[in-house]
Structure 1
């Protein structure tokens, strides 16, 4: 039986649609990958800092109330994460007097060299009203532990931190996370945080935390981290 003209038209249309579908598949663009989010970058910075194992730290406080008797003004030193330890100098207001205090913190013990004292003495951080500086370097509960607790992280501006250009990431931190670490602040209030991340390597260079450290005042502590992975030795005095 010879195919009718209508049958030939239907077959031709079917073949055309089949070829068009096959050609479309070949020309479909490759799937695109989603750009890293601010939370992704904080996760990278977390891992880079933990892997480094040691770092140089500088801490500076601003907007600190004069009426407070004891608080940390600043600190400079080195720390390790395994075990968490610190050696350096802390500038603090102690019983209303500002002093530079050489400090060693290791294995849960704290030694400080107070003004007019010839040697380091072992003391309890709670007696001085200051945090144990070694806790800043704890790989889980220290400064690096704030990164995954950051709420609603968003990319901010590019800024300069010393010789580095950093990508800022902004967000908020639960008050308890801040007060547990820095031994100051209103645990019921959120704190604003801005991180400075060095692009490419994604080192965490700066952490700026602002909020009610000494309510009702609003104060800021800024931490700068450098010298990732350089050898650091902390020994008891």
Structure 2
């Protein structure tokens, strides 16, 4: 009897150990090769989140600054500062423009598809044509479908960039390119056949679009940059026709 017991022990032990290994492999808590995990968000996913946040904001504060702008261009926007609503698209602020070599700050109200400006030395606002002034209608920037929110969807080859800090906020940068026709349609300047580089700064956690930097042939052959800052999402803003 001792002889039979001695022979079976080496056979039973590997079987028991093998069963334990199989049971462990079937455990849902295992981190083995069979376990599944959600793929990390892509750059396109983050842009979609930023689009939803902006389109649903209701209102924002907006700032714009241009750099490397050509001195010999007859008219262009230097900067802008103001606030607006997304539903309906409207803007109230000041646009700094350069016209015929003269730089001026122009109080501007854009609402109901109309652009009202108070030109230098003028006593009141006058209804104006954006094309004649050489400036875009700033309300179009806030349109949830075709404005900055829509521009996010037109970004080509988006890629996650660095993470950077802006004050107390941590921003995830997303880099890509934009077709010239999309840029011209929004900002009213640029080469429609050109390609523009764009860098977005998205606030981590909320994924609000905080910064936009677009560089390219706004006034060819020069390469210029327009940088936008958006904040104050959802803060009360009222825009009324003058």
Name the TM-score, length of structure 2 as normaliser.
Answer: 0.88
- Residue 166 (str. 1) matches residue 167 (str. 2): no
Q: How does 1:178-189 map to 2 (within 5 A)?
A: 178-189=183-194
Change (3 A) 1:99 1:210: same
1:121-180 C-alpha deviation (Å, 9 max, x unpaired):
011111101111110000010011111111111111122334423111111111111010
What's the counterpart of residue 38 of structure 2? 33
Counterpart Cα distance in 1 of 2:209 and 2:51: 8
Change (3 A) 1:28 1:162: closer
Q: Is the 8 A contact 1:161 1:205 kept in 2?
A: no
Q: Secondary structure at the match of 1:48?
A: helix
- Residue 122 (str. 1) matches residue 127 (str. 2): yes
Counterpart Cα distance in 2 of 1:107 and 1:200: 34
Q: Secondary structure at the match of 1:78?
A: strand
What's the counterpart of residue 201 of structure 1? 206
Unpaired runs of at least 5, structure 2: 1-11
Counterpart Cα distance in 1 of 2:61 and 2:233: 7
The number of aligned residues is: 229
Change (3 A) 1:51 1:216: same
Q: Secondary structure at the match of 2:140?
A: helix
Counterpart Cα distance in 1 of 2:21 and 2:127: 82
Q: Is the 8 A contact 1:89 1:102 kept in 2?
A: yes
Change (3 A) 1:174 1:19: same
Deviation at 1:100, TM superposition (A): 0.1
Counterpart Cα distance in 1 of 2:88 and 2:24: 62
What's the counterpart of residue 226 of structure 1? 231
What's the counterpart of residue 7 of structure 1? none
Change (3 A) 1:52 1:126: same
Change (3 A) 1:97 1:202: same
1:59-94 C-alpha deviation (Å, 9 max, x unpaired):
000000000011000000001011100000000012
Counterpart Cα distance in 2 of 1:114 and 1:200: 42
Q: How does 1:37-56 map to 2 (within 5 A)?
A: 37-56=42-61
Residue number among 70, 80, 91 corresponding to 1:75 in the alignment: 80
- Residue 154 (str. 1) matches residue 154 (str. 2): no
Counterpart Cα distance in 2 of 1:95 and 1:133: 21
What's the counterpart of residue 24 of structure 1? 25
- Residue 100 (str. 1) matches residue 129 (str. 2): no
Unpaired runs of at least 5, structure 1: 1-11
Q: Secondary structure at the match of 2:116?
A: strand
Q: Secondary structure at the match of 1:52?
A: coil
Q: Is the 8 A contact 1:161 1:206 kept in 2?
A: no
Name the TM-score, length of structure 1 as normaliser.
Answer: 0.90
Q: How does 1:2-13 map to 2 (within 5 A)?
A: none
What's the counterpart of residue 5 of structure 1? none
